[in-house]
Amino acid sequence: MLDFRSNSNNKPFRSGHFNISKRSNKTPSISIYLVDNKQFYKKGRLSFNMLNKNEIFSILSITLVLGTIWSLFETWELFLISCGVILAVILINVIAKKVIAFAFDSEIEIHTWEWQRFFFITKKRAWGHKPHQKLKSLFPAGFFLPLILKLVSAGFMNWMACLTFEVKGTIYRTARRWGLYQYSEVTENEMAWIAFVGILANIFFAIIGYLIDAPLFAKINLIYAFYNSIPLSNLDGTKMFFGKQSLFWTSAIVTSIGLVLSMVII
């Protein structure tokens, strides 16, 4: 049975979605809910939230970790300056992603990079390659990995990729983009663009920092962009690599050049 329903008898139908249900053992029914696009546009414009409590906690905790590895508590002044600059760099990346996600009728949530499994090999056996071989709880790699690598590398490596994002389509994405059928999933291509724009924002502000004679700000922007371009786990580099490889290689080349410049010139 095909059932048409609307929110108003006077307004023209512009878009909607399918809902398939089974009312009996033999006859399924298909309901098409048609709505006015203007209502979706209005709700979408009003539903843009920049950061929630969990995102703020993740960003601030990672800021303290990265501020620690940058300053090594040499002085409190250096630690506070490092934390302030790193917080600005992270917010530039996050806000750029939020804006482009909103342009794609989507929303993202930032959280600390976590591992559910990792691999290691010994002489007798390997662990982590089978589906059931995983950690009982998520390991906060974004919190501990920078500290571990700083210690192992004798203070040489400042790992900066500590945050990831999850993306989903908003409610009004269906009506705004796809007419009379539901298609609210965000594509890998769109996720690649969201990740790329965040990295591009850091590169842009690195140039601004260099021009206004703010070397620490410029350097941290470049290093942050470089590490986030690495295709590891579910970092931004992985989203670009599987979503749109042209963006990945562009980001990899530009951020690699930026890393070299940050060590030589800045």
Tens digits of per-residue pLDDT, 147-196? Answer: 999 999 888 889 999 999 988 766 555 455 545 444 557 788 999 999 99
Rounded to 5°, the CA angle 97-99-248 comes to 35
Integer Cα distance of 58 and 204 in angstroms: 24
| Spatial CA neighbour of 92 closest among 246, 235, 228 | 228
For the whole model, what pTM was predicted? Answer: 0.74
pLDDT per residue as tens digits for the range 74-105: 788 999 999 999 999 999 999 999 999 988 88
Integer Cα distance of 29 and 19 in angstroms: 8
SS3 of residue 65 by DSSP:
helix
Residue pair 114/140 in contact by the 8 Å Cβ criterion: yes
Which helix (H) or strand (E) segment holds residue 207: the answer is helix 188-211
| Spatial CA neighbour of 5 closest among 17, 52, 45 | 17
Integer Cα distance of 22 and 28 in angstroms: 4
SS3 of residue 30 by DSSP:
strand
Integer Cα distance of 197 and 191 in angstroms: 10
pLDDT per residue as tens digits for the range 232-257: 888 999 999 999 999 999 999 999 99
CB atoms inside a 10 Å sphere around CB 105: 20
pLDDT per residue as tens digits for the range 32-80: 333 444 444 444 443 456 788 999 999 999 999 999 999 886 788 999 9
CB atoms inside a 10 Å sphere around CB 30: 12
- Residue for token digits 């959280």? 111
Integer Cα distance of 175 and 178 in angstroms: 6
- Residue for token digits 């579910």? 234
- Write the DSSP assignment of 154-194 as a string of letters: TT-------EEEEEEE-TTHHHHHSTTS---PPPHHHHHHH
